[in-house]
Amino acid sequence: MERRTFLNWVGVGMLSSFIPVAIAACQSTQTNNSPANKTATKIDTSIREDGFQALGTVEQLETEGEIIDRRNAAKPVIIFRNPDTNDLVAINPMCTHQGCTVKLDLEGKQLACPCHGSKFAFDGKVMNPPATENLDIFAVKQEDNLLLVKVN
Ligand code: FES
């Protein structure tokens, strides 16, 4: 085999092995978006006329126990079900003390801040300082499989 033919074959081989990688790198991955969300589901997150926007699905919530959205809404949002009432709750998880992200503790029935120990009830009210202001609560509803939140 001539040197030129050999180099042509090697070039074609390298090119064909890089094309799938390049295509995969260019694909859109727009999904609902919390790093915690392990089930990637494409939803339309645009704000509707009534002010609500879809930030997750019932399936996501059932699978993961919570949905955290930091990119699609005007403020960060955590969605979960109150274990006592089974009602949907949508709340701003940014601690009102110094802005750390509170963690959902369903068994303890609270949202706990890992930074300085503030605790909040599921209605956003401060249970334990140093935070003195309540967390923002958002209107939330379910339509079919979508979870819609009104972040104002
Ligand atoms: Fe949450 Fe300080 S930032 S208690």
Atom of ligand 1 nearest to the CA of 98: 3
Cβ of 113 below 6 Å from ligand 1: yes
- 103 φ, ψ to 5°? -105, 135
Tokens of 42: 């494409």
To test the ligand 1 pocket, which listed residue (92, 100, 134) has its Cβ within 8 A of the most ligand atoms? 100
Q: Is the CB of 135 under 6 A from ligand 1?
A: no
Beta strands in 26-106 (DSSP E): 53-57, 67-69, 77-81, 88-91, 103-105
Given the CA of residue 113, which atom of ligand 1 is nearest to it? 1
What pairing do the DSSP bridges indicate for beta strands 126-128 and 119-120? Answer: antiparallel
One digit per residue, pLDDT tens: the chain, 152 residues?
666 665 666 565 554 554 444 444 434 333 444 444 454 568 899 999 999 999 999 999 999 999 999 888 889 999 999 999 999 999 999 999 999 999 999 999 999 999 999 999 999 999 999 999 999 999 999 999 999 999 97
Whether the CB-CB separation of 126 and 133 falls below 8 Å is answered with yes
DSSP 3-state percent helix, strand, coil across the chain (nearest 5) = 20, 30, 50
Ligand 1 near 124 CB (within 6 A) = no
Note the pTM of the prediction, 2 decimals: 0.72
Give distance in angstroms: CA of 99 to centre of ligand 1.
Answer: 6
- Provide the pLDDT for residue 89: 97
pLDDT for 149 = 96
CA 16/CA 8 separation, integer angstroms: 12
